[in-house]
A and B are shown apart, each in its own frame.
Chain A
Amino acid sequence: MLTDRQWFFCAILMYGVSVIYSVFLWRKGFRKDDWVNYVLLLAGFVMHTTALMLRGFSFNRCPVNNLFEATMFVDWSAVGVYLVLGLIPKIRFLGAFASPIFFFLGIYALMPGLDHHDPDGEITKNWAVSLHAVLILVSYGSFGLCAVASCMYLIQERHLKKHNISAILSVLPPIQRLEAVAGKLLIGGLVLLTLGLALAPLIVKDKENLVFYEDAKILWSMLVWAAYAVIVAARWKWHFGGKRLAWCLIAGFIFLILTFSATNMMSDLHR
Chain B
Amino acid sequence: MSIIVVGISHHSSSVSVRERFAFAESEIDDVLRSLTDRGLAQESVLLSTCNRVELYVSTRLPATEALHAIKQFLIENRQYQDVIQDEIYCHANPSSVEHLFRVASGLDSLVLGETEILGQLKKAYHLAMEMKFTGGRLNKVFQKAFNVAKYIRSNTGIQRGSTSVGSVAVELADKIFDGLKGRRVMVIGAGDTSEKTARSLLSRGASEVAVTNRSYERAEELAGNLNGRAVPFQEWEAEFEELDIVISSTSAPTYVLDRARVEKLIRPRKSRPLLLIDIAVPRDIDPEINELDNVYVYNIDHLQSIAQDYLEQRQKEIDTCEAFIKEKVEEVLGSLNPPGHAAKDGPMIQADAREAG
Residues of A within 8 A of B (CB): 156, 160-161, 163, 165, 167-169, 172-177, 180, 238-245
Q: Is the CB of A243 within 8 A of B176?
A: no
- B293 nearest CB neighbor, chain A only: A242
- A90 nearest CB neighbor, chain B only: B178
Q: Is the CB of A163 within 8 A of B298?
A: yes
Choose among B171, B179, B270, B273 the residue that contacts A175 (Cβ–Cβ < 8 A).
B273
- B310 nearest CB neighbor, chain A only: A165
Q: Which residues of B are found within 8 Å of A244, using beta-carbon distances?
A: 293
Q: A242-B293, A244-B293 are in contact. Are A160 and B175 (CB under 8 A)?
A: yes
Q: Is the CB of B271 within 8 A of A160?
A: no
- A176 nearest CB neighbor, chain B only: B178
Residues of B within 8 A of A (CB): 161, 168, 171-172, 174-179, 270-273, 290, 293-294, 296, 298, 302, 305-306, 309-310
CA distance A238 to B270 in the complex (A): 7
Q: Which residues of B are found within 8 Å of A173, using beta-carbon distances?
A: 178
A141 to chain B, nearest CB (A): 24
- B173 nearest CB neighbor, chain A only: A174
- B174 nearest CB neighbor, chain A only: A174
CA distance A161 to B289 in the complex (A): 11
CA distance A238 to B269 in the complex (A): 10
Q: Which residues of B are found within 8 Å of A242, using beta-carbon distances?
A: 271, 273, 293-294
- A235 nearest CB neighbor, chain B only: B271
Q: Is the CB of B176 within 8 A of A175?
A: yes
CA distance A169 to B270 in the complex (A): 28
Q: Which residues of B are found within 8 Å of A180, using beta-carbon distances?
A: 178
Q: A163-B298, A169-B161 are in contact. Are A240 and B271 (CB under 8 A)?
A: yes
Q: Which residues of B are found within 8 Å of A163, using beta-carbon distances?
A: 298, 302, 305-306
Q: Which residues of A are found within 8 Å of B174, using beta-carbon distances?
A: 174
Q: A161-B290, A163-B302, A242-B294 are in contact. Are A176 and B271 (CB under 8 A)?
A: no
CA distance A239 to B177 in the complex (A): 17
Q: Is the CB of B177 within 8 A of A176?
A: yes
Q: Find the residue from B171, B271, B306 having the highest chain A CB count within 10 A.
A: B271
Known contacts A163-B302, A242-B293, A243-B294; 13 further A-B pairs (Cβ under 8 A): A156-B175, A160-B296, A163-B306, A168-B306, A174-B177, A174-B178, A176-B178, A176-B273, A177-B178, A238-B270, A239-B272, A242-B271, A242-B294
- B291 nearest CB neighbor, chain A only: A161
CA distance A176 to B270 in the complex (A): 13
Q: Which residues of A are found within 8 Å of B293, using beta-carbon distances?
A: 242-244
CA distance A175 to B272 in the complex (A): 11
B277 to chain A, nearest CB (A): 12
Q: List 25 A-B contacts (CB under 8 A).
A: A160-B172, A160-B175, A160-B176, A161-B290, A163-B306, A168-B161, A168-B175, A168-B306, A169-B161, A172-B175, A173-B178, A174-B174, A174-B176, A174-B178, A174-B179, A176-B178, A180-B178, A238-B270, A239-B271, A241-B270, A241-B271, A241-B294, A242-B273, A242-B293, A245-B271
CA distance A120 to B168 in the complex (A): 64
CA distance A177 to B305 in the complex (A): 26
B196 to chain A, nearest CB (A): 18
Q: Which residues of A are found within 8 Å of B171, using beta-carbon distances?
A: 168
Q: Which residues of B are found within 8 Å of A176, using beta-carbon distances?
A: 176-178, 273
The list of the 7 closest CB pairs from A to B, nearest first, reads: A239-B270, A241-B271, A177-B178, A176-B178, A242-B271, A163-B302, A165-B309
